[in-house]
Structure 1
Amino acid sequence: MINVTIANFEAEVIEASHHTPVLVDFWAPWCGPCKVIGPLLEKVEAAYAGRFKLVKIDSDQEQQLAAAFGIRSIPTCVLLMNGQPVDGFMGALPEGQIKEFLDKHLPPADELEAMAEEEDAQEAIADDDLEGALEKRQEAVKTDPDNDDARFDLVKLLLELGLDDDAKVAFAPVIAKAAGVRRLDSLRRWMAARDAHAEVVDPQARAAELQAAIATNKRDFESRFALAQLLMAHGEWVPAMDELLEILMRDKAWSEDLARKTFIAILDIIEPPKPKVAEGQVPPEDPTVATYRRRLSSVVLS
């Protein structure tokens, strides 16, 4: 529990809420019900073990903050997430009702832990600490083996590091359901592309060979798809999508929709993690992903 003033409000409440939900308890020393709910809030904070952060604001001493939140009676509690108030309650609620209020908004403990691991992994990647990022993602999967997003992030990083055998081991537990979970299916298609071209000694020579075949016959879809897979295997995503679009513009349903499904797989793989935004707002989309998603829609719907 932290006592907040106007001086530390931005750091302790607004900034902190972008990482962990913050419950603000507006109180005053003379308020009887405040003395009842205060210890309950501290007890719940300890029991929730980091799932939210509790701060207290003396509404008499910090009238500017109380006015900003429209506080008319105390105790009043306001929950902030991603820098914005999302809900609140007035009065000295019993412990059970406080927990019900929190559980409506807070992610489950295992999901929160996985989210924290992924945030740490992203920070490690930004710091070029790939080994640290890998450890964080492995821990996230270990903590919650059924979290498909955590497994996607782990397998993706292993493939990016060229650890294909480790990626296949990490992917093995979800093979059976991959066809029904799009992001997992996208990883499967990426691994298939890498396997298909694992023994190509000279990728540039192979690419030139495929391009020559395509120049002879624009409808040589097998060569176009092989080229797209070769580019995909080596992380050349935009040229790969361009080849797949060439197929789709000529035959949308070629080979049981293979080009479209592979195109979507690439979009899943290259899409960066969504940044946190205030509730109700839409996070900005990656420019490349947005552009090629529009191109796909334009071709498929034309």
Structure 2
Amino acid sequence: MIDVTVENFESEVIAASMQTPVLVDFWAPWCGPCKTLGPVLEKVETEYAGRFKLVKIDSDQQQELAGAFGIRSIPTCILMKNGQPVDGFMGAQSEGQVKEFLDKHVPPADEAAPEEDVADAEEALGEEGAESLLERYQHAVVTDPSNDDARYDYVKLLLQLGREDDAKVAFAPVIAKAALSRKLGALKAWMDALDFSTQNGPVAEFDAKIAANKRDFEARFGRARKLVAEQKWTDAMDELLDILMRDKTWNDDAARKLYIAILELIEPPKVKVADGQIPPEDPTVATYRRRLSSVVLS
């Protein structure tokens, strides 16, 4: 459990929720129901063993944050995923009620991330070559077809190498899961962008439309998808930020959803580290997460 303030909100809530659901408990020291709920939440966090992260915000001391979330009574709990609130509840809850709430949003225990080391794909490419790495990923998928993490690495590398048809074949068995999985959803967004790119003209055509009308969000979004197809990740996110700065919820959050998918795609693989050590966050990912949160929360 972590106490969150304005100063660490970005890192402990927004950035953290891009990887793991974050349950934000708004409370106050004088609140009786808060004292009842707090130990329940801490017990459940321990039992769930990393499937979600619990943070606490003192609504009296952090009135700016409480106001941003529209908190009117405490305790109030807000669940954050991918930098956005997705659900919540008010008042003291039993342990069973809290678990029922969480189970709608957090990954099942049997889908927890594996603990073994995972090499950075780019480093591995340099060390063993693309074909060798592909064989290793493919073997992992064949050995355990239910291993979505291995399949993600395999499909992602195929796309990086421009082998789109092979990627689609490898992705087909899990396409139905794309709406429920952040990683698989990101791969689908990439493949959709590739299809879009082949069906539309060059980036210059979108540039011309944007020059004529800076609020032509369809053109901006199309340009961003073209850039994704070309693996120009930061350029694509810059274009999406231009949409978000003008209309945060345009087209059912299409710009924000694609932006988050790109962050997932460029996120380096997690690696196992020594006890007590936290691996440094990729600077590009950290920068663009901060830019997204500053726009969304403004």
Give TM class, smaller chain.
0.5 to 0.7
Are 2:150 and 1:150 aligned?
A: yes
Are 2:160 and 1:164 aligned?
A: no
Question: What is the aligned partner in structure 2 of residue 272 from structure 1?
Answer: 268
Contact 1:120–1:133, Cα closer than 8 Å, also in 2: no
User: AA paired with 1:259?
Assistant: A
| Closer, same or farther: CA 272–121 of 1 in aligned 2, 3 Å | closer
Are 2:271 and 1:298 aligned?
A: no
Measured after TM superposition, the shift of residue 273 of structure 1 is: 1.4
Question: What is the aligned partner in structure 2 of residue 248 from structure 1?
Answer: 244
Q: TM-score, normalised by structure 1?
A: 0.58
| Closer, same or farther: CA 188–220 of 1 in aligned 2, 3 Å | same
Are 2:192 and 1:192 aligned?
A: yes
What's the Cα RMSD here? 2.4
The equivalent position to 2:204 in structure 1, one of 205, 208, 224, is 208
Question: What is the aligned partner in structure 2 of residue 59 from structure 1?
Answer: none
Between the aligned partners of 1:142 and 1:196, the Cα distance in structure 2 is 30
Measured after TM superposition, the shift of residue 218 of structure 1 is: 1.2
Contact 2:193–2:225, Cα closer than 8 Å, also in 1: yes
User: AA paired with 1:144?
Assistant: D
What does 1:73-112 correspond to in 2, within 5 Å?
none
| Closer, same or farther: CA 120–131 of 1 in aligned 2, 3 Å | farther
Cα distance per residue 1:230-284 (max 9 Å; x no partner): 0000000111000000000111111111000000000111111123311333211
Question: What is the aligned partner in structure 2 of residue 104 from structure 1?
Answer: none
Q: Sequence identity, in percent?
A: 62
Q: Give secondary structure in 1 for the equivalent of 2:198.
A: coil
Question: What is the aligned partner in structure 1 of residue 279 from structure 2?
Answer: 283
User: AA paired with 2:214?
Assistant: K
Q: Give secondary structure in 2 for the equivalent of 1:180.
A: coil
User: AA paired with 1:150?
Assistant: A
Measured after TM superposition, the shift of residue 121 of structure 1 is: 6.4
* Structure index of larger Rg: 1
Between the aligned partners of 1:279 and 1:141, the Cα distance in structure 2 is 30
User: AA paired with 1:148?
Assistant: D
Question: What is the aligned partner in structure 2 of residue 227 from structure 1?
Answer: 223
Contact 2:119–2:271, Cα closer than 8 Å, also in 1: no
Q: Tell me, which stretches of 5 or more residues in structure 2 are unaligned?
A: 1-109
Between the aligned partners of 2:157 and 2:289, the Cα distance in structure 1 is 23
User: AA paired with 1:140?
Assistant: A
Between the aligned partners of 1:226 and 1:189, the Cα distance in structure 2 is 13
Contact 1:124–1:132, Cα closer than 8 Å, also in 2: no
| Closer, same or farther: CA 295–136 of 1 in aligned 2, 3 Å | same
What does 1:24-103 correspond to in 2, within 5 Å?
none
Which protein has greater RCO, CA pairs closer than 8 Å, 6+ apart?
Answer: 2
User: AA paired with 2:166?
Assistant: D
| Closer, same or farther: CA 218–283 of 1 in aligned 2, 3 Å | same
Question: What is the aligned partner in structure 1 of residue 133 from structure 2?
Answer: 133
| Closer, same or farther: CA 242–223 of 1 in aligned 2, 3 Å | same
Question: Structure 1 stretches (4+) deviating beyond 3 angstroms?
Answer: 118-124
| Closer, same or farther: CA 277–174 of 1 in aligned 2, 3 Å | same
Contact 1:122–1:133, Cα closer than 8 Å, also in 2: no
Contact 2:120–2:269, Cα closer than 8 Å, also in 1: no
Between the aligned partners of 2:162 and 2:263, the Cα distance in structure 1 is 20
Aligned residue pairs total 188
Q: Tell me, which stretches of 5 or more residues in structure 1 are unaligned?
A: 1-106
User: AA paired with 2:278?
Assistant: V
Between the aligned partners of 1:164 and 1:211, the Cα distance in structure 2 is 26
Between the aligned partners of 1:286 and 1:229, the Cα distance in structure 2 is 23
What does 1:171-190 correspond to in 2, within 5 Å?
171-190=171-190
Are 2:292 and 1:261 aligned?
A: no
